[in-house]
Amino acid sequence: MAYYIAIGSSDGKRTDLKFGEVSEFSIYLVEGRDYEFYEKRPVGDVFEKKEEKKDTCDTKCSSGCSGGGHGCGGSEEVSAKVDAIADCRCVVCKKVGFQAQKQFEKKAISVFDIECDIDEAIDKISAYYDKIDNKRSLKA
């Protein structure tokens, strides 16, 4: 069964964008262990909305490990963005906020927040699904 993977990438090589930074997703089509680039899917409107909202964010938001934990960013922009890739089986970004993660998971879309080469990401994810789908062991 073929499926799509949505990737947040600035250069088409690495999964280097945070979910919030993505203006267009790179969509890949995967069949078993084979995959190919399918299309670029813009989410431009959503991106602008986020920029407007940024002022209301708690400044601690993006300070990484010592963050304040307060939420920011509306759910609408997230929803729209999630909807844009609702036909994908999973999404891969450098970071994915909790709210977005939950929305994805509600739609049974897996979230992998990791920064690496796109090839590596798809290779590992397709191997995982291939095995899980066929009830095969993940044993290394």
Partner 1 sequence: MAKLLDKQRYKCALAAMQTVQAIDRALPILHSGPGCAQKLSDTNGSSGYFSPNIFPCTSINEKDVVFGGVKKLNSTIENALKVVDADLYVVLTGCIPEIVGDDSGEVVSRFEDAEKPVIYAPTAGFKGNNYKGHEQVVDAIIEQYLKKSDKKQKGLVNIWADVPYQDLFWLGNLRALENLVSELGLTPNTIFGYNRGIENIKKIPEAEFNLLVSPWVGLGNVKKMERKFGTPYLHYPTLPVGATETSKFLREVGKFAGVAEEKVEAVIKEHEDYYYYLIGRYADLFLENRVINKQFTVVADAQYSLGITKFLVNDLGLIPAKQFVVDDTPKNYRDQIAEEFKKLNYGIEAEVSFETDGYKIHEEIKSHDYHGYPLVLGGYYEKEVTEDLKGNFLNISWPVQDKIVFDRSYVGYEGGIRLIEDIYTIAVSRFN
Partner 2 sequence: MAVNLNNSNVATRENRIGSITGYVGTLKDLATQSECGTLKGCSRCFSQSSTCLSSCALGQLCGIRDVALIHHGPAGCSVAGAGAYYMAKVMSKKRGVTSDTIYVGTDMNENDTIFGSTNTLRNVILEVNKRYSPKAIFVSSSCATGIIGEDIDSIVDEVRDEVGVPIVAVHCEGFKSRIWATGFDISDHAVLQSIVKPPREGVKTNKINFKNFFESARPEIIEMFKNFDLDPVFLYCNSTVEELSHLSESLATTCICGTLGNYLGNTLEEKYGVPYVRSINQCGIEGFETWLREIGKVTGRSEKIEKYIEEQRAIYIPQIEEVKKELKGLTAVLGMGPGYTFEVSRVLNELGIKVVWALAWHYDKKYENGDVPPSMKYLLDNDIDFEASVADQQNYEVMNILHKYQPDMYLSRHPGSTVWAIKNGTPAIYVADEYMIFGYKHTLEFAKTIVDAIKNRSFEENLAKRSKLPYTDWWYKQDVDTFLEETK
Q: Report the interface residues with partner 1, using CB under 8 A.
A: 110-114, 116, 121, 124-125, 128, 137-140
Q: Are 78 and 100 spatial neighbours (Cβ–Cβ below 8 Å)?
A: yes
Rounded to a whole number of angstroms, the minimum distance from the CB of residue 76 to partner 1 is 26
Rounded to a whole number of angstroms, the minimum distance from the CB of residue 117 to partner 1 is 12
Contacts of 39 (CB under 8 A, 6+ apart): 27
Count of C-beta atoms within a 10 Å radius of residue 40? 11
Dihedral sign for Cα atoms in the order 13, 29, 18, 44: positive
The interface partner of residue 128, options being partner 2, partner 1, none and the CB cut-off 5 to 8 Å by kind, is: partner 1
Chain positions contacting partner 2, by CB under 8 A: 18-20, 60-75, 95-99, 101-102, 105-106, 108, 113, 131-132, 134-139
